[in-house]
């Protein structure tokens, strides 16, 4: 099934402990679509400025991403973000955020974008997420991501958006913050009570956890010794997870499918952090992805052997 | 095989967001032995004062723990710790630490304690860990835990102790700190290079990770919605992990056994946090432990289905 993703398209400047890059292609919709494209036809809705050119389109087209719905704002500049990671890459400092054309973004969906069976609302203002969700009233599976900013300044609108989707994917700290509940199990259950049937908590280097009304699943991150640039890992996870579901939406969207989707999201995110920006995604092959999913299966499995315990 | 554990025996005062307890039985050797006792004959070596009486011995005897090597220091008081957990139980404040008889503790092992095939050096001064390790020269499997204090003030001695054991079990933050390496995979590998063949990183609510020269395994924590008192969870994990290995030391101490041991440690720790102090361990049954291990297997398994990816 086809996927439409609405979100940011950006240029990033990234500094790490040992290196830096000036003008990396980034943004939530870009990272999402490069991952999703491994599984499903993916269409990006988002704004760019005059500085967004053939090189950037080539990256997206190289993975078969459909860019017809990318809106070019004449005279504008593309969203720009600069950040610095400490030697401990879990610690990130935002150095600069220039919204540019993203500031007045009003998503305009083509008929084809509106007709996608799977809709992903990447991290944008929840008012916009709700408007797009209403436009795509025929979607069979809808999911959203968000960030602490929207929880802080427009929580009510975000809660409304959450009521309108099947699946919420957030960092675990955002889930706790959103419902003011430090226990993640309780917090995720509170989110499920708002309406979605699937809640995914992203836990960075600790992996991710899946909550549904029926159950729970958790998967560690792939143990990567060389994290070069974590930017976009979360969006890449989203793309792998949602893309996998889109490719299997003829199945029931239940635990077995959702668990496999988590593994593909995890595998893709683990590749994404191995190089700056989208670099690693460009030469990544389907068999590398499949291999890492198999490896994740082996790294997380234990075979219980019934024993007599001293009671 | 029999287990000897050397560590602290304590009274704890614990305050949580909603409740508090004045004089809970605690200490690393106590929590360890109550868990280990599900699998193997366990002998505790540690000091107590005049305030340690029949009620406390009854708790240990209730689970078959051998207390012959508990050293009663006449006129002394038992180690006392007081702490407060915030509403987010991941945040703990130590309010008071009275070492009391623990301050001048010099482990004295009986012949029987010294003859144990499995030795666990709970969190005590690494000089003492080394001395005990040397005394138990015939042990077939040895492991230690430690804490940030010893890394801070006597790192060299701790490194020496680590060189002398088969297995190191630490919080992930301690592993990073010990070798000054923020990436956990790299940090654990550095520890393995010091000598041990097994490194376990405890990750609190995120579970635990196992590193050996050959491979990696990770297991999430059991998703507990009602954490009452996390005190002793780490020591309980240690006891389940090491105890399980002791009960199967006729097998090769390799990945399949170590992974199952992680599951038993995780299950026991998850029960321990369901009530204050050692309360939950007292009525815990072997079949409850086995059930939770089975459940952990179900909560962590995904079945990969090979698919054709869009290359």
Q: What backbone phi and psi angles, to 5 degrees, belong to A14? A: -125, 125
| B146 DSSP assignment | -
Say yes or no for a CB contact (<8 Å) between A219 and B302.
yes
Average pLDDT, chain B: 97
The residue among B206, B216, B260 with the most chain A CBs within 10 A of its CB, best to mutate, is B206
Q: How far is A121 from chain B (nearest CA, A)?
A: 22
Give bridge partners of residue B121 from the DSSP assignment.
B6, B144
Q: How far is B73 from chain A (nearest CA, A)?
A: 31
Say yes or no for a CB contact (<8 Å) between A310 and B223.
no
Reported ipTM: 0.95
Say yes or no for a CB contact (<8 Å) between B220 and A225.
no
Nearest CB neighbour to A306, from listed B186, B290, B302: B290
pTM of the model: 0.97
Say yes or no for a CB contact (<8 Å) between B260 and A303.
yes
Short-list A58, A135, A71, A57, CA closest to A102? A71
Tokens linked to B75? 């006129």
The band of A305, judged by pLDDT with boundaries at 50, 70 and 90, is confident
The band of B310, judged by pLDDT with boundaries at 50, 70 and 90, is confident
Q: Which helix (H) or strand (E) holds A185?
A: helix A184-193
pLDDT digits (tens, 9 = 90+) for A60-118: 999 999 999 999 999 999 999 999 999 999 999 999 999 999 999 999 999 999 999 99
pLDDT digits (tens, 9 = 90+) for B101-144: 999 999 999 999 999 999 999 999 999 999 999 999 999 999 99
Burial of B31 by CB count in 10 Å (0-12 exposed, 13-18 middle, 19+ buried)?
Answer: buried
Long-range pairs for B289-295: beta carbons < 8 A, 24 or more residues apart: B289/A309, B289/B38, B289/B264, B290/A306, B290/A307, B290/A309, B292/B222, B292/B267, B293/A304, B293/B260, B293/B263, B293/B264, B293/B267, B294/A304, B295/B222
Tokens linked to B5? 């554990």
Set of chain B residues whose Cβ sits within 8 Å of the Cβ of A305: 260
- Where do the H-state alpha helices sit in A3-125? 28-36, 54-62, 111-114
Task: For B87, name the nearest residue in chain A, comparing CA atoms only.
Answer: A182
- The order of strands in the sheet holding B79-85 is B20-26, B10-15, B79-85, B92-98
Say yes or no for a CB contact (<8 Å) between A247 and B186.
no
């Amino acid at each position: 099934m086809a996927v439409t993703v609405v979100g940011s398209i950006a240029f990033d400047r990234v500094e790490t402990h040992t290196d830096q890059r000036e003008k990396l292609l980034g943004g939530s919709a870009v990272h999402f679509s490069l991952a999703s494209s491994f599984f499903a036809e993916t269409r990006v809705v988002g704004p760019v400025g005059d500085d967004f050119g053939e090189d950037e389109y080539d990256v997206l087209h190289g993975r078969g991403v459909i860019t017809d719905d990318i809106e070019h704002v004449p005279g504008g500049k593309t969203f720009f973000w600069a950040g610095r990671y400490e030697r401990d890459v879990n610690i990130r400092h935002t150095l600069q955020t220039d919204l540019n054309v993203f500031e007045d973004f009003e998503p305009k969906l083509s008929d084809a974008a509106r007709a996608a069976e799977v809709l992903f609302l990447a991290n944008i203002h929840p008012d916009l997420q709700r408007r797009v969700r209403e436009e795509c009233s025929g979607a069979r599976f809808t999911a959203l991501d968000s960030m602490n900013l929207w929880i802080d300044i427009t929580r009510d609108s975000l809660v409304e958006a959450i009521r309108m989707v099947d699946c919420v994917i957030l960092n675990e700290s955002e889930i706790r913050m959103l419902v003011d509940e430090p226990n993640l199990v309780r917090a995720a259950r509170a989110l499920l009570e708002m309406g979605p049937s699937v809640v995914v908590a992203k836990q960075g280097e600790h992996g991710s956890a899946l909550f549904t009304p029926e159950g729970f699943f958790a998967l560690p991150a792939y143990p990567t010794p060389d994290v070069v640039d974590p930017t976009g890992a979360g969006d890449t996870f989203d793309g792998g997870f949602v893309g996998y579901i889109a490719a299997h939406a003829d199945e029931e969207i239940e635990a077995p499918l959702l668990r496999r989707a988590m593994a593909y999201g995890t595998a893709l995110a683990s590749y994404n952090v191995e190089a700056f920006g989208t670099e690693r995604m460009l030469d990544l092959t389907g068999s590398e992805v499949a291999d890492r999913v198999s490896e994740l299966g082996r790294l997380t499995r234990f075979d219980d052997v019934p024993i007599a315990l001293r009671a």
